[in-house]
Amino acid sequence: MVTPANELSNYVGLERYLLLSILGDGAFSIVYKALDKQTDTHVAIKVIRKLELKANQRISILKEVQLMKSLDHESILSLCGFLETLEYYFLITELCQGGELFQQIVHLTYFSEDLARHCIRQVAEGIGYLHEVKGVVHRDIKPENLLFEPIPFLARVDPAPVQPDDEPKVDEGRFVENYGGGGIGKVKIGDFGLSKIIWDEATVTPCGTIGYTAPEIVLRQNYSKAVDMWALGCVLYTMLCGFPPFYDDDDIDILTEKVARGDYTFMSPWWDSISNEAKDLVAHLLCVDPTQRYDIHQCLHHPWLLGQVKSRKAGHQQKALTLFF
């Protein structure tokens, strides 16, 4: 629900910006869509209530800001500015009008291989920049932290016929290489609150979201940038079939055990029509042994990601599995 502009709060220090609507909120923050009156561009402003934070939480936010200031890549959400008052932190970022990729997966149920490749390649390129250029491990790659720019719906000229046993699915339309489809254009990595500069070192701090967390983290072992590759595999799996590789509705301990063992399958019938090459990339990313898991270079040069194999087209329907993740 969009909050009317005349009901939004006014903040000392944000006179340059016109707050337009609330995009979301958290325990200590509110995110607004705003207009930068100096540049006539839309931005997102995260307003964080400082007085409700502990000292270590304030330090974490300032570290996140310093890190984001150093990043410059088309697949990374840009920090446009940072302001601080006695009561608030203001993080001003570019606005991705489409919102979270998570919501688009829910909307479309799953992605065609072309659309999944389009999205995951951009995320992988962003991770490559973080890992190879900045020495940064993100530690929280998941669909909720991937944002996208919307594009117009493009009707398909040769839709595949729907089979009698196919489940209903929202039509993602025609896919255009280097442009997108399913309403998704550019994809960007956001939320660097758990990110850390480690280069080739190891770290041990437990963090992340359990369904996308690598085995070495849940086992409280030292871990490296390889944890982002595991999470990328989880995201790709989710895009292709519409549900995550590791889930348990009721028991977090069982879910943790599944992650630790790498206990997932390419479930039939949901994966029956997905190419072996796509499954091969997922399998190399969801490798329990981080030393054998694909690194970002291997991922970016995989034949499936390079588009060198024939993929399931957007018109093909498959059964839908309803999960809340």
Annotated binding-site ranges: 50
β-sheet bridge partners, residue 76: 189
Contact between 270 and 318 (Cβ < 8 Å): yes
In the numeric block, the tokens 């009008």 are attached to 97
**DSSP-based three-state secondary structure for 246:** coil
Which residues are tagged catalytic? 140
DSSP letter (8 states) at residue 169: -
Residue numbers in the known binding site for ATP are 50
The closest of 175, 184, 258 to 218, measured between CA atoms, is: 258
Q: How far is CA 93 from the centre of its chain?
A: 16
**DSSP-based three-state secondary structure for 308:** coil
Contact between 227 and 273 (Cβ < 8 Å): no
CA distances to 58, 62, 183, 243, 246 from 152, in Å:
40, 37, 6, 25, 33
Contact between 311 and 117 (Cβ < 8 Å): yes
**DSSP-based three-state secondary structure for 297:** helix
**DSSP-based three-state secondary structure for 198:** coil
In degrees, to the nearest 5, what angle opens at C-alpha 308 toward C-alphas 105 and 73? 60
| AA letter at 290 | P
State the alpha helices, DSSP H only, in 242-303.
Answer: 252-261, 276-285, 296-300
